[in-house]
Structures are given as C-alpha cells and as structure tokens.
C-alpha cells in the first residue's frame, strides 16, 4: 500500500513541522530566554523539567520531539533534493523563500544533530545540562557563531514554514491573504529570532 | 531576392542551443540575420531556416521549432528566450537584449533543437479527468446553470493553452521528479467549478491526491509569475489544497456530499 500515499506523507510533513516541532521550538527558545535573567533563573527554570518523572519525560521527548523531528527532517531532506532551484532565472521573493526554506532545512538537520549530540546525548552519558554547560560551549566563538546561525535558520524555517502550512492546508487562498500571512510570519521570524539570539548571548 | 530596406546594416544576433536527437548532447550555435521592423523570434528563426548558415559562415542544419497559431493561443511555440520561458510568437525582437539566447524548455524531453515533447502535460490532463462528462445512453438535457460571477473567474482558468511555461518555471517539475505541475492542477479547479463537471469532482480531487500530485507543490509561485495568460495558478493550487483537505476527511470518515 505504498502507492498513492505521497499526498498524506506530504501533509503529515507539513503538519508535524508546526505541531509539535514548531511549538517545541518556541517553547525551547522561551525557556532559554530565562538565561537573560542570570544563571540562577535559567537553572531554576530548566530544573523544573527535572521534576517530571524520568520515564514520562522520555516518552514525551520521543513522542513530541524525536519521532516527529526525525520524520520531518528526513522527509524534508528528500523533498529538498528533489527540487531544481532556479532563483537565477526567477529571482522573485517567493522563489527565494522556497530556496532558503530548503537550504535552512538541510542545514538544520546537521545543526540539530550536533546540538543533540552536544547536550542531550552528553546528559544521557552522565553530564549535567545547565548554565555552565552552555557557557562552556559558546565560550568558543566559532561555536557561538554556529549556534546563532542555527537559531536563525530554525526561526526562519518555522516562520516561513508556517506561511507554507497556511497555503498547503488551504487556509490562505487569495493572493491578499497570502501576502498578509507573509507579513505576519516575517514579524514572527523577527520576534522569535530576538528571543533565541538574546538567549544564546546570555551565556557569553 | 534580398530587398534592401533603408537600414540594411542592422542585424539581429541570436545564439541557439542545438540538439540533434532526444538524449544527445547539445551545442550553442550563433546566427546573425537581417533586421526587419516588428520582427518576432519566430520570424528570425524563419530567416535562419531559409539559409541555415551560422554567424561564422559555417553551413548547418535548419533550426527546428514548434509553432502553430502565431497569436499566443495554441501554446506550441514555447521556448526559453534569454533565460525566461515564453511564447516565441509574441516575443518581439525589439524588446529583447541581444544576442537573443534561445533554448528548449529542458523540463521536457527535447525532440530536436527548440522542439520539446509536452506529452506529460496531455497525459496529466487525462489523469485528472480534465473534461465534463456528458455522454450517456439518452439525452440528459440541459445541465444546471452556472452563476455569472463564477463563470467570469472560471473563464480566466480556461485560457490555459498547455504551453508548458509554468512547468519550465516550476522548480519541482523536472524529468526526474514526479510532480504533475501547475497547469493540470488548475484545470481540476476549472472543471470542478463547472456545474456539470462538479458532479464528478471527487474523482478529480482523488486523482490529484495520488503520487506526484497536488501536495508536491513547493509554493515557489514561479508559475503564476511566468504564465503568459495571467492565470491565477497559485490561487488555484491553494483552492485545491482546501478542497483536498475536505476531501481527505470525507474519504476517511465518509460523506454523503462527495459531489456537492
């Protein structure tokens, strides 16, 4: 029954990008933002997660983060590499968004894989995830740069992906509504970028 | 028989991507033809056809291209002109930068030179049932009346001439990708808007919910920018996205409203 399933895989890809992956990103960056209030505020906020029983946290992590993210990421790479970018010939705004969406998507697979290795896997191996850990990571200016680019790629990919979600599910049909959705999602991009970058700079 | 027209020295420079057969390698050839006022790309190609000699004086084969109506309604003469896919009949030499670079629309199999095989578009129209079924064993009489305002926007969709420009412009349509492309999708919206066509609209929606269908659109919106007839292709795609969202739920949960 693998025939004629592509429509559903694509729709699932679109849905998972917003719920839960997109929602998780907003939650994640908001939690990080507590670092702007200092080391104690950040450790207290992240410490709240430790109150959740370990087995439940694992289930939530797999169901809400890893499985949807893995599907969205791997299927997204397939989508990205079936395209033939042509911004040289068609340098319109939307065509640039199309290319940047695919470029950030592929970059995010690499960035997120590294980020998970550097934090979550280290935690599983016995390290403690706290303010000090992030402080040590971003003490390296190259790593700080890598994280800032990663955060901006993620916020852009979410904001523009939300625009595409609205089209793909048939919510924004008219050119006018699509244009207004562009403005709203770009404002969203700026706002969550500020939250995300302010958070990472708080560890410097 | 060269009738010198006042400005004899003016010429039109062209560079054409030549290819002898499907799948063979291609090469650029340069041509220079005398300028005439009001020339279009096809008239320049016709001069080359009469005397197939390159700008360097080398004898070559006549350049092959497709054309038919010469008034931008048949869709046959599409090619990539200075990087943009468009009709060679309605593209005027005066409005182009020289040398004029002509290439085939390589999203389709190249038959020879500028001639391409657009069969995949016609097959796609069959796949999505882009017609209104009225055949029966007895006279079905008149169909339901179409609201005038609906007729007006549906008329815009009916201007599609299957020229393939949107297919060439789309980054998700290629010989190696399965995406059906913008033109046949918009035809689904057209025939589903027709009161009699709507009686089989679930069949068309289910057809574009197959592999390589509607969901493979990546929203680059190049199609609507490139369409020579100004068809609102991306609005059609978004409208179909909504219709298939509803259809998806109807298919799964069941519905008595498949065709209304």
User: pTM for the whole thing?
Assistant: 0.94
Q: Would you say residue B34 lies in a domain?
A: yes
Are residues B144 and B238 both part of a single domain? yes
Residue B181 has pLDDT above 90, yes or no: yes
CA distance A131 to chain B (A): 40
CA distance B34 to B32: 7
| CATH of residue B193 | 1.10.1060.10
Q: Are A195 and A204 in contact (CB under 8 A)?
A: no
CA distance A6 to A11: 9
Tokens of B146: 């179409």
Q: Compute the mean pLDDT over every residue in chain A, rounded to the nearest whole number.
A: 95
Are residues B148 and B246 both part of a single domain? yes
CA distance A37 to A29: 14
Q: What is the count of residue pairs from A and B with beta carbons less than 8 Å apart?
A: 104
User: B1 or A162, which is more confident?
Assistant: A162
Residue B8 has pLDDT above 70, yes or no: no
In a mutational test of the A interface, the residue from B128, B218, B243, B250 whose CB has the highest number of chain A CBs within 10 Å is B218
Q: Would you say residue B6 lies in a domain?
A: no
Q: Are A154 and A26 in contact (CB under 8 A)?
A: no
Q: Would you say residue B17 lies in a domain?
A: yes
Residue B224 has pLDDT above 80, yes or no: yes
Tell me: the pLDDT tens digits for A62-101? 999 999 999 999 999 999 999 999 999 999 999 999 999 9
Q: Are B214 and B236 in contact (CB under 8 A)?
A: no
Give me the half-sphere count of Cα atoms (radius 13 Å) on the Cβ side of residue B84: 15
Sheet hosting strand B78-81, strand order edge to edge? B26-34, B11-19, B100-103, B78-81, B84-87
- Of B116, B140, B162, at which residue does a domain stop? B116
CA distance A34 to A199: 7
Q: How far apart are the first and last CA of chain A?
A: 52
Give the pLDDT band (50/70/90) at residue B135: confident
Q: Are A197 and A150 in contact (CB under 8 A)?
A: no
How large a percentage of chain B has pLDDT more than 70? 97
| Inter-chain CB proximity B235 and A173 less than 8 Å | yes
CA distance B139 to chain A (A): 36
pLDDT at B5: 52
Domain count, chain B: 2
CA distance A170 to B215: 11
| Mean pLDDT within A112-125 | 95
Local structure of B17: helix, strand or coil: strand
- Residue B181: phi and psi, rounded to 5, are 95, 165
Over the range A91-112, which residues count as b (16 or more CB within 10 Å of their CB) and which as e? Answer: ebebbebbbebbebbeebbebb
Tell me: the pLDDT tens digits for B35-64? 999 999 999 999 999 999 999 999 999 999
Are residues B99 and B132 both part of a single domain? no
pLDDT at B217: 97
ipTM > 0.90, yes or no: yes
| Mean pLDDT within B188-212 | 96
The secondary structure of B165-201, three-state, reads HHHHHCCCCCCCCCCCCHHHHHHHHHHHHCCCHHHHH
Q: Would you say residue B40 lies in a domain?
A: yes
Are residues B112 and B128 both part of a single domain? no
Give the residue among B69, B206, B68, B181 at the shortest CA–CA distance from B120: B181
Residue B2 has pLDDT above 90, yes or no: no
User: A167 or A2, which is more confident?
Assistant: A167
pLDDT at B140: 82
Are residues B89 and B128 both part of a single domain? no
Tokens of A63: 């169901």
Give the pLDDT band (50/70/90) at residue B134: confident
CA distance B81 to B103: 7
- Of B116, B136, B167, at which residue does a domain stop? B116
Q: Would you say residue B1 lies in a domain?
A: no
| CATH of residue B78 | 3.10.20.30
DSSP string across B91-128: -BGGGS-SSEEEE--TTS-EEETTEE--HHHHHHHHHT
Residues 81-140 (A) with a CB less than 8 A from some CB of B? 82-86, 88-90, 92, 94-95, 97-99
In a mutational test of the B interface, the residue from A94, A97, A179 whose CB has the highest number of chain B CBs within 10 Å is A94
Are residues B108 and B132 both part of a single domain? no
Give the pLDDT band (50/70/90) at residue A3: confident
Using a CB-CB cut-off of 8 Å, the residues of chain A touching B213 are 6-7
Are residues B89 and B161 both part of a single domain? no
pLDDT at A108: 98
Give the residue among B225, B159, B217, B150 at the shortest CA–CA distance from B187: B159
Give the pLDDT band (50/70/90) at residue B201: very high
Q: Compute the mean pLDDT over every residue in chain B, rounded to the nearest whole number.
A: 94
Residue B139 has pLDDT above 90, yes or no: no
Kind plus residue range of the DSSP H or E element containing B27 = strand B26-34
Question: B33 pairs with which residues across the strands?
Answer: B12
Give the residue among B154, B156, B134 at the shortest CA–CA distance from B143: B134
Does the beta carbon of B74 lie under 8 angstroms from any beta carbon of chain A? no
Neighbours of A43 (CB within 10 A): 16
Q: Are B166 and B223 in contact (CB under 8 A)?
A: yes
| Inter-chain CB proximity A98 and B218 less than 8 Å | yes
Tokens of B228: 């020579």
Are residues B149 and B78 both part of a single domain? no
- Residue B259: phi and psi, rounded to 5, are -120, 10
Are residues B90 and B143 both part of a single domain? no
Burial class (CB in 10 A: 0-12, 13-18, 19+), B43: middle
In a mutational test of the B interface, the residue from A173, A174, A175, A177 whose CB has the highest number of chain B CBs within 10 Å is A173
- Of B94, B116, B138, at which residue does a domain stop? B116
Q: Are B166 and B226 in contact (CB under 8 A)?
A: yes
pLDDT at B186: 98
Give the pLDDT band (50/70/90) at residue B20: very high
Q: Would you say residue B2 lies in a domain?
A: no
Residue B7 has pLDDT above 70, yes or no: no
| Mean pLDDT within B82-104 | 97
CA distance B105 to B22: 13
Domain that holds residue B88: 11-116
Residue A1 has pLDDT above 80, yes or no: no
Q: Would you say residue B5 lies in a domain?
A: no
pLDDT at B166: 98
Q: Where are the domains of chain A?
A: 6-201
How large a percentage of chain B has pLDDT more than 90? 90
Burial class (CB in 10 A: 0-12, 13-18, 19+), B46: middle
Say which residues have a Cβ less than 8 Å from residue B117's Cβ, sequence separation at least 6.
Answer: B22, B108, B109, B110, B111
Give the pLDDT band (50/70/90) at residue B136: confident
| Mean pLDDT within B189-203 | 96
Question: B18 pairs with which residues across the strands?
Answer: B27
pLDDT at A171: 98
Over the range A58-68, which residues count as b (16 or more CB within 10 Å of their CB) and which as e? Answer: eeeeeebbeeb
CATH number for the segment(s) A6-201: 1.20.1300.10
Local structure of B80: helix, strand or coil: strand
Are residues B108 and B178 both part of a single domain? no
Tokens of A65: 């983060």
CA distance A82 to chain B (A): 6
Tokens of B101: 């670079």
């Amino acid at each position: 029954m693998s025939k004629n399933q592509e429509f559903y895989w694509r729709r699932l890809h679109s849905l998972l990008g917003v719920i839960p992956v997109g929602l998780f990103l907003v939650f994640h960056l908001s939690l990080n933002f507590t670092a702007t209030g200092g080391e104690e505020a950040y450790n207290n906020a992240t410490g709240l997660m430790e109150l959740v029983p370990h087995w439940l946290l694992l289930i939530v992590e797999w169901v809400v983060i890893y499985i949807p993210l893995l599907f969205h990421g791997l299927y997204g790479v397939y989508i990205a590499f079936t395209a033939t970018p042509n911004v040289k010939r068609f340098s319109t705004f939307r065509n640039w968004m199309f290319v940047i969406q695919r470029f950030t998507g592929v970059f995010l697979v690499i960035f997120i894989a590294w980020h998970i290795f550097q934090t979550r896997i280290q935690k599983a191996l016995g390290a403690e995830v706290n303010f000090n850990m992030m402080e040590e990571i971003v003490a390296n200016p190259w790593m700080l740069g890598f994280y800032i680019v990663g955060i901006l790629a993620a916020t852009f990919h979410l904001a523009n992906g939300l625009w595409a979600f609205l089209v793909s599910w048939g919510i924004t049909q008219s050119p006018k509504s699509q244009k207004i959705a562009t403005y709203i999602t770009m404002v969203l991009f700026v706002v969550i970028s500020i939250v995300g970058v302010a958070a990472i700079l708080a560890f410097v | 028989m060269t009738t010198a027209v006042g400005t004899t020295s003016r010429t039109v420079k062209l560079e054409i991507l030549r290819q002898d057969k499907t799948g063979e390698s291609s090469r650029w050839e340069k041509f220079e033809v005398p300028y005439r006022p009001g020339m279009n790309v096809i008239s320049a190609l016709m001069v080359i056809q009469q005397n197939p000699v390159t700008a360097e004086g080398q004898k070559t084969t006549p350049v092959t291209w497709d054309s038919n109506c010469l008034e931008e309604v048949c869709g046959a003469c599409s090619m990539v002109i200075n990087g943009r896919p468009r009709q060679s009949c309605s593209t005027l030499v005066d409005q182009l930068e020289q040398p004029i670079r002509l290439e085939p629309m390589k999203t389709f199999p190249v038959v020879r030179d500028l001639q391409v095989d657009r069969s995949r578009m016609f097959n796609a129209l069959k796949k999505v049932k882009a017609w209104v079924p009225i055949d029966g064993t007895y006279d079905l009489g008149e169909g339901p009346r179409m609201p005038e305002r609906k007729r007006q926007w549906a008329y815009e969709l009916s201007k599609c001439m299957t020229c393939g420009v949107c297919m060439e412009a789309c980054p998700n349509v290629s010989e190696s990708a399965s995406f059906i492309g913008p033109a046949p999708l918009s035809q689904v919206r057209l025939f589903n808007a027709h009161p009699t066509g709507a009686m089989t609209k679930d069949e068309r929606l289910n057809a574009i919910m197959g592999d390589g269908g509607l969901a493979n659109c990546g929203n680059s919106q190049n199609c609507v920018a490139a369409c020579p007839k100004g068809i609102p292709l991306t609005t059609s795609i978004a409208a179909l996205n909504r219709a298939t969202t509803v259809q998806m739920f109807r298919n799964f949960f069941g519905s008595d409203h498949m065709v209304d």
